A = this chain, B = another copy of it.
Amino acid sequence: MTPVERFKKYLAKQNLRMTVERRKVVEEIFSTAEHFTVSDLVQRMQANDSSMGRSTVYRVIPLLLKAGMIFEVSVRGGREEQVYENTSGIRHHAHMTCEVCGEVIEFNDSEIHEIQEKIATRYGYKLKLHIMDLRGICPSCQEQIISREVSAW
């Protein structure tokens, strides 16, 4: 079943309508596995059809969330746009961030995946997105900022 068909079924169940605009949004979202923002979608879609409305995209997003077809991904700060991902396939995000200098280390630990699956199984969940977000202070920033005050923490 294609994403469009899946969404159409979901809409029908809610007594909502499949429109050309909604179809285009879904096709655009599932055309790649990359994450996206509303601006990304609008920009890509307006390249083909300049009349495509921004608010239409904003109105489709919550429906796709409810349908379990996309996820919110980002931890947003300031006035950054929300980032989404489609749910075709399970995504793993495991990273450790230094909150001082912003360094990000990505890692992929099989033990983590095993535990995540174990937990999901325990509760009967079908996992679509795993985020392991470790925040701390990297070695060099520890020296510069904390110096010998570590014991005070």
Contacts and interface: CB of A to CB of B under 8 A. Distances in A.
B1 A149 contact: yes
Contacts of A129: 133-136
A53 interface: no
Interface stretch (A21-29, A42-50, A62-70): A62-70
Contact of A115 (B6, B112, B136, B153): B112
Interface in A68-108: 68, 71-72, 74-78, 82, 88, 96, 98-100, 105, 107
B152 A71 contact: no
A1 B153 CA distance: 9
A66 to B, nearest CB: 6
A125 B107 contact: no
A74 B71 contact: no
A111 B115 contact: yes
A4 to B, nearest CB: 13
B128 A136 contact: yes
A137 interface: yes
B149 A134 contact: no
B77 A82 contact: yes
Contacts of A36: none
